[in-house]
Amino acid sequence: MTTTDNPAAATVAAAADAHSPPGAVFAITEGEQTHYWTSGTADLETAEAMTQAHAHDLASVSKLLTTLTLQRLFTLGELAPQDTLARFFGPVAGAHCEVTVEDLLRHQSGFREWWPMYLSPGRQSSPIPQILEMPARYPRGVEWHYSDLGMQVAGAVAAEVTAQSFSQAVGELLLGPLGIETITPGRPHAGTPVTSGPLGDAIEREMVASNTPYPVDDSTKTAAADFPWREHQLRGEVADCNAFHAFDAASGQAAGHAGWFGDAAGLLRLGAALAVPENAGISAEQSAQLATAAPNSPDFGEVGFAQGRGARMYQLPWRGEQRTFLAHPGFTGTYLAAAPATPEAPKVISVMLSNRLHGQPPPDRDRLMPVDQMWRRAMASANKTLHQAETGDAQ
């Protein structure tokens, strides 16, 4: 099988001036038919072949778990999109009292994009109070600024409403009803094959040192000097430092922005809920909002996607037609996308899982292949492989 007829191989194919993932899994469900492809290695040191059973650190694909869990709470009437943080956190919400759950999901809350909460002075068992103490960086509801901190707070809202941990809320409201057992918080199930990730915390350590892409203050840099950064090869450990160090992923916890592991089969099930949210117990009214762009959202021509309510919308040619996919990428090289069925075409669910951060030598952040580019390349390969008789040499 060549690169052109194996979407997983297309995912890991070399690109000029970019580090390619050592291995990948790609899966497509179209209608009732599912196809899997694999390519490359799960770990360069052991040369272990990548398989569809391997668990991957989902990174920001985890945000879709947060999104769908909150949609369930909207549907159940236990939460409303316009509820403010003052309802859940009282005066602790500080300058963010008027931020709504809708603002968080649409990345218009005004929270900073990112901050190394694990380096905050006087760290507490939960970083949420310290996040809420931070001043807003942007005006609420005016501009779109993708925010990990906002999604961390969104996860905390789910925990407050359900009076349990965020991970338990996701399990009870979403994963359990969907019968998904292979998406797990904090770490994969014992005995599950798992791909290798980056070399320790090197990427975030460099982010703090270089102020790139988000600046930090001098006190944070001082704290970084004595922080016990991980320096070993990560495998079965969450790469995101906030999820691992601040939210204690090692003990089986996850955060609203990252911290889950999953395999291709589990993500296909989750993608089915994204394609048909009603099957996950989400009302038609709420599911319609997933694909409704907010005012001031980025548009397809600006950044390649539009921001819905907790999910991104991508337009892509598929089977000779332009389809709209609800999706989210993950920094580790992961992707989940779903196009709901139309009167003319069946639903399409797409899963890409790769070890993009793994390499020998370890790749620098600025040499990583863009995740969106990897997914689009794999989708073009899958389209050509599955539909060449109908569409010719699909691009």
pLDDT digit string, tens, across residues 106-155: 999 999 999 999 999 877 779 999 999 999 999 999 989 999 999 999 99
**Residue 363 pLDDT level (bands cut at 50, 70, 90):** very high
Q: Is residue 124 situated within a structural domain?
A: yes
Q: Is residue 117 situated within a structural domain?
A: yes
Q: What separation in angstroms does the CA of 195 have from each of 169, 231, 242, 338, 363?
A: 27, 17, 20, 24, 16
Q: What separation in angstroms does the CA of 51 have from each of 5, 285, 317?
A: 17, 38, 28
Rounded mean pLDDT of the chain? 94
**Residue 1 pLDDT level (bands cut at 50, 70, 90):** very low
Angle between helices 63-76 and 264-275 (to 10 degrees): 40
- The pLDDT of residue 392 is above 70: no
**Residue 2 pLDDT level (bands cut at 50, 70, 90):** very low
- The pLDDT of residue 169 is above 50: yes
Question: What is the structure's pLDDT at 301?
Answer: 75
Q: How many domains does the chain have?
A: 1
Q: Is residue 178 situated within a structural domain?
A: no
Q: Is residue 17 situated within a structural domain?
A: no
Number of Cβ atoms within 10 Å of the Cβ of 217: 10
Among residues 271, 245, 244, the alpha carbon closest in space to that of 260 is found at 244
pTM value is 0.95
Q: Is residue 177 situated within a structural domain?
A: no
Q: Is residue 131 situated within a structural domain?
A: yes
Q: Is residue 261 situated within a structural domain?
A: no
Q: What separation in angstroms does the CA of 144 have from each of 16, 97, 130, 255?
A: 31, 19, 22, 21
Q: What is the mean pLDDT of residues 242-249?
A: 96
Question: What is the structure's pLDDT at 4?
Answer: 54
Q: How long is the chain?
A: 395
- The pLDDT of residue 95 is above 90: yes
In the chain, the percentage of residues whose pLDDT exceeds 70 is 97
Question: What is the structure's pLDDT at 116?
Answer: 97
- The pLDDT of residue 15 is above 90: no
Q: Domain of 110?
A: 67-166
List, for residues 174-203, the tens digit of each pLDDT value.
999 999 999 999 999 999 999 999 999 999
Q: Is residue 328 situated within a structural domain?
A: no
As given in the structure block, the two tokens for residue 254 are 């996850």
Sequence-distant (6+) residues with CB within 8 A of 392 are: none
